[in-house]
Amino acid sequence: MTKIDFQQYVTEGFFDETFDNDKQVRPHYALFIDRLKKMGLKKLNLLQHSTDRVQMSLGMTFNVYSDNQGIERILHLDIIPRIINGQDWDFLEKGLKQRIQAMNLFIDDIYNDQKILKDKIIPKELIFSSSTYLKQCIGLKPPKGVWIHITGTDIIRGGDGAYYVLEDNLRCPSGVSYMLENREILKRSFPEVFEKLNVRPVYDYTHYLRDMLESLSPVAPASIAVLTPGIYNSAYFEHAYLAQQMGAELVEGRDLVVKNDFVYKITTKGLKRVDVIYRRVDDDFIDPEVFRPDSLLGTPGLFRAYLKGNVVLVNAPGTGVADDKAVYAYVPEIIKYYLGEEMILPNVQTYICDRKDDQKYVIENIADLVVKQTDASGGYGMLIGPKSTKEEQAEFIQKIKKNPRNYIAQPTINLSRVPTLTEEGIEGRHVDLRPYILYGSEMKIIPGALTRVALKKGSLVVNSSQGGGSKDTWVVDNL
């Protein structure tokens, strides 16, 4: 048996979540690391191989539109879980609740009274120039005053070990199905240690999701549908999985029809009314009568039925303005303005290229910064300065000068690392964290998250579309 001893495991230069600088195991990892050492590398590799097979058999695949090797692949699940102690998690939960509450008030304000703009806390040009600010939503009051029902906030740990919010995902955040399925696989892989650690459960997410959706319905019992763009969407597995787990209908835009401002599903037995739609279709495509007229993914009249209060859309249209990476830079001010509180969970320092001084700093220091397109996601539209060429830097400088509103920059942060099984053995790989927050009549944060891991050695990019994988996230209370 090839032993696992971690003698060659490198921790220098990074914050490692499992080992401290003296190579001592952090207390919340001790039981699991002891189990790994007793198991041996051969058994661990066998477990990893069986995990890959289970993922494929379950259909846990996603599509990569730019991949010429074939459009479907599994989101690689690394067999070694990421473990977070309960005290840290409780801090994250407190910070996330504050953030979501403030962001919800902000979205409601900018589509209604616009007090924050009148008080010049945020430049009105920043909001009105955002491609995700929808004029069609001005004056909108969603059910119970909630705009952002489902959030997947991206969190990182820096070299100082502190947690930071990297970005907000307030439109159609993906990945929760992988969090749930990863847990099912991992607890079968390590049943004894899982039980001993008393890991906080995540299995009830879909129950909470269904309860939240029903709480928003104008009628009871509610008829719920999950609106998907279809089988070729990168997250189709998730759409089908969540619909099945909730006992909801999985529909495409063509399966729905609007009559007398009510939404119905077309069935073989006639029309069936739909009360709540958990949409996984972006704003621009949900209704060709109001947004993009060329959309084949939505349903004509859907937005009109929503405005009449005859159907609930989750998340509410228009929330994407708060996903704008330039708006992200103002979240500390947003929290202070609406809640009168200091931010609990800090942002990463952000330079807005539309500001003259910020732009000058970014251009002069582009080799050390991460530059991001304000309306892009999935790891696209981004330059990682220290890993870029002079030509790539020059290209981004021209883009910034041409359209400064479209770019922000942040310091390059060495994301924390956790042990990951590689072809060379167990090595540290960079990770981020995506917790999921549900907001209906109350706010609920599931005590677990999707950990995304950069599988390529040295890479800081964890996005699945850029070759990243995932880990199960165990929240454990101090033993």
Confidence of residue 7 (pLDDT cuts 50, 70, 90): confident
Q: What's the CA gap between 66 and 13, in Å, rounded?
A: 34
Containing 147, the helix (H) or strand (E) segment is: none
Q: What's the CA gap between 79 and 182, in Å, rounded?
A: 9
- And the tokens for 293? 């007229």
Residue the block writes with tokens 């708006």: 327
Q: What's the CA gap between 431 and 468, in Å, rounded?
A: 9
Q: What is the pLDDT of residues 43-66, one digit of tens each?
A: 999 999 998 888 877 777 666 555
Question: Whole-model pTM?
Answer: 0.93
Q: What is the pLDDT of residues 204-235, one digit of tens each?
A: 999 999 999 999 998 889 999 999 999 988 88
Q: What is the pLDDT of residues 250-260, one digit of tens each?
A: 999 999 999 99
- And the tokens for 54? 């289970």
* Cis before 123 (ω within 30): no
Domains of the chain with bracketed CATH: 90-155+204-339 (3.40.50.11290), 351-411 (3.30.1490.270)
Q: What is the pLDDT of residue 381?
A: 78
